[in-house]
Amino acid sequence: MKKIIMPMMLVLISAQVYAGKIISKEDAEKILKETISSTPGCIVMDEFTKMPISIDPDNMATRDAASAMRALSEAGLLKMEKKQVKMEKNMGFMKQKVTINAHVFSMTDMGKKYFRDDAVQISKGRKEPKKGAGLCYSEKLKVTGIKRFVGPTVINYYLQAEDKADWANDEKIIRAGLIVDKHSMNIKTFQLKGQPAPPPGIKLQAQFRKQKDGTYALTHY
């Protein structure tokens, strides 16, 4: 996979207040498509910067991260070993160092091939994309269709990953919800009677938000 170079800043647009609208649908769709097309498909996790990392399988606070990392190890990107390690744990009202049977994760040669320290993981519209160390399975994402607009600054759209790495189709990766491409998950998209078939991909949401200088930026996607 070629090295991915991300744009240094989000696209900013001038405010267009007319007929009660902040930005036209045409402009919003154009900016969304251009931004997504320059964004790779990645999985960003803080744990990637701490490899090798030990995780207590009984710690509920790290359960989601442990599940994701186990899926990545099954796909060959990480290596998981069971080892006895000393970790701090809350024992009553005090923290004590105790020996536990931990899951120790490290990066494999395959993982290093897809690793980027400047990766971006889209948030599916709930918050700003996460940036940092990650594993990238696609060099770019693609908007396959616009579902509808919710008010002047929110867009529902369909997204698909192009040229995915083989490991992105691993069942455990898919079940863990680590990638955004619904089409690659072999999940049927249901068609309502009398309605056209929806585009391939998973339906997500994007938002334009007002900045301090009065302009609007695509911040959540």
pLDDT at 14: 33
pTM: 0.78
- Coil, strand or helix: which one is 95? strand
Break the chain into its structural domains and give their ranges.
Answer: 12-42+137-220, 46-111
Per-residue pLDDT of the chain (221 residues; tens, 9 = 90+): 555 544 433 333 333 333 334 678 888 899 999 999 999 999 999 999 999 999 998 888 888 999 999 999 999 999 999 998 887 777 667 777 788 889 999 999 999 999 999 999 998 888 999 999 999 999 989 999 988 777 778 999 999 888 899 999 888 888 878 887 654 444 455 566 777 777 888 889 999 988 888 878 899 99
Output the CA angle 45-48-53, nearest 5 degrees: 115
pLDDT at 151: 73
- Coil, strand or helix: which one is 70? helix
- The DSSP bridge partners found for residue 206 are 155
Asked whether 22 and 221 are in contact (CB, 8 A), the reply is no
pLDDT at 10: 34
